[in-house]
Amino acid sequence: MTETTKKQRLTILGATGSIGLSTLDVVSRHPERFEILALTAHTRINELARLCITHRPRYAVVASDQDARVLSGELRAAGLNTEILTGTRGLEQVAALGEADTVMAAIVGAAGLTPTLAAVRAGKRVLLANKEALVMAGALFMAEVRRAGAVLLPIDSEHNAVFQSLPADYAGSFEASGVRRILLTASGGPFRTTPLEQLAQVTPQQACAHPNWVMGRKISVDSATMMNKGLEVIEAHWLFNVPAERIEVVIHPQSIVHSLVEYADGSVLAQLGNPDMRTPIAHALAYPQRIEAGVAPLDLFAAGQLNFERPDEQRFPCLALAYRALRAAGSAPALLNAANEVAVAAFLAGRLPFLRIAEVIAAVLDRFPVVALPDIDAVMAVNAQARAAAEVIVVNWQDRQDRQ
């Protein structure tokens, strides 16, 4: 890259999360390539202030006016004149900024849908780490990508691995490209070998102790239930236009093979690397070039051996629920996602046992008919409806426990 080459101006949605911080780590290694335009956070205001002081963005977004006043005071004291915006409107505004070249969409959960969609509608280069955008509104989201001419690059290590293993000219036709199936690898989480009878006593601390990856609390619990992999199956369906029956989940405890693509001629291509999210982040930031990411080289001799297992459906019922929602289509994935978010939050708050997470999700899927989702308003309505129903199920369970 020459000195005269224009820097890539970057908005990071969810800057204080693990993906946001890893992105900033990669960016800081290449100051000649990248310039931070905007950073956002929800409640970690002090952390956002420190990031703003280090990276000096032109814009910052926080949840509320009160948070904005706190952040403004800290930044003024540091001599910064960062413009501070608030709420969903602020997120959507920085996602669609005319000056922005690239948007890292790393807000966890349904809250990331509308700002990510705003970036897509503005025709940005979108690095997608928010899987819920595709889970909740896959058909609508991909239609907007095509309409606006946005560039969508996957950040999940599994989808990034698939992207790297597909033909460079892959245009969404797996049959024309000779693709037989996609194999998404999963670590199996912290409870892959835990006796089933012990799962009823699992604590949030245990569920968040992932053996290979450093992740946020919500996604760590999703990994423990394998709902994270179920959501990734739905995401892969939309990203690569591959039907559910052509997407298989394979447990790979070492988390070195990040996913594989099997071809009609019997070839299987895979992407390997140490379990470090800076690899897919760097790949997407520089695509189609390659840049240094700060990741240690993979030592196959130290790895020794690579193991692969079929998922245990009894141990991981959430995975089957995700396949069920994908095959049902329409509103089913949005129902699944909303119920899961409520159930996981209840578990993390000590209001729901670990094994009840799947039961809450199944109950919500059973309760509502599958309907078409013609627009984002319909998606958000289903999301709200499912959340309310899931919360009632959690409260009812608590009431029964209190009476016993």
What confidence tier does 10 reach under pLDDT thresholds 50, 70, 90? very high
Total number of domains constituting the chain: 3
Task: Please report the pLDDT score of residue 403 as a whole number.
Answer: 78
With 80 as the cut, is the pLDDT of residue 228 above it?
Answer: yes
For residue 48, what is the domain's CATH number? Answer: 3.40.50.720
Structure tokens given for 31 = 């100051």
121 Ramachandran zone, left/alpha/beta (phi>0; psi -120 to 50): alpha
What confidence tier does 3 reach under pLDDT thresholds 50, 70, 90? very low
Mean pLDDT (the chain, rounded): 94
Asked whether residue 167 falls in the same domain as residue 308, the answer is yes
- The DSSP secondary-structure symbol of 64 reads S
Task: Please report the pLDDT score of residue 214 as a whole number.
Answer: 67
With 80 as the cut, is the pLDDT of residue 281 above it?
Answer: yes
Section 113-125 average pLDDT: 96
E strands, 144-256, are 151-154, 179-186, 247-251
Weakest mean pLDDT among 6-15, 54-63, 213-222:
213-222
What 3-state DSSP class applies to 126? strand
Section 255-283 average pLDDT: 97
Asked whether residue 124 falls in the same domain as residue 198, the answer is no
Is position 85 within any domain? yes
User: Contact at 8 Å (CB) between 130 and 113?
Assistant: yes
Asked whether residue 103 falls in the same domain as residue 122, the answer is yes
Is position 277 within any domain? yes
User: Contact at 8 Å (CB) between 210 and 187?
Assistant: yes
350 Ramachandran zone, left/alpha/beta (phi>0; psi -120 to 50): left
User: Contact at 8 Å (CB) between 23 and 12?
Assistant: yes
Is position 373 within any domain? yes
Section 142-169 average pLDDT: 96
Count of Cβ atoms closer than 10 Å to residue 171 Cβ: 9
Q: What is the pLDDT of residues 184-226, one digit of tens each?
A: 999 999 999 999 999 999 999 999 987 776 677 888 999 999 9
Helix pair angle (227-240, 317-328), 10° resolution: 30
Q: Domain span at residue 51?
A: 8-154
Asked whether residue 81 falls in the same domain as residue 201, the answer is no
With 70 as the cut, is the pLDDT of residue 2 above it?
Answer: no
Task: Please report the pLDDT score of residue 59 as a whole number.
Answer: 98
Is position 2 within any domain? no
Asked whether residue 67 falls in the same domain as residue 208, the answer is no
C-alpha count within 13 angstroms, C-beta hemisphere, residue 149: 0
Count of Cβ atoms closer than 10 Å to residue 109 Cβ: 19
Task: Please report the pLDDT score of residue 210 as a whole number.
Answer: 77
Contacts of 180 (CB under 8 A, 6+ apart): 246, 262, 263, 264
- The DSSP secondary-structure symbol of 196 reads G
Section 141-157 average pLDDT: 96
> What's the CA gap between 320 and 322, in Å, rounded?
5
For residue 359, what is the domain's CATH number? Answer: 1.10.1740.10
With 80 as the cut, is the pLDDT of residue 1 above it?
Answer: no
Residue type for position 393: I
User: Contact at 8 Å (CB) between 222 and 123?
Assistant: no
Of all residues in the chain, the percent with pLDDT exceeding 90 is 90
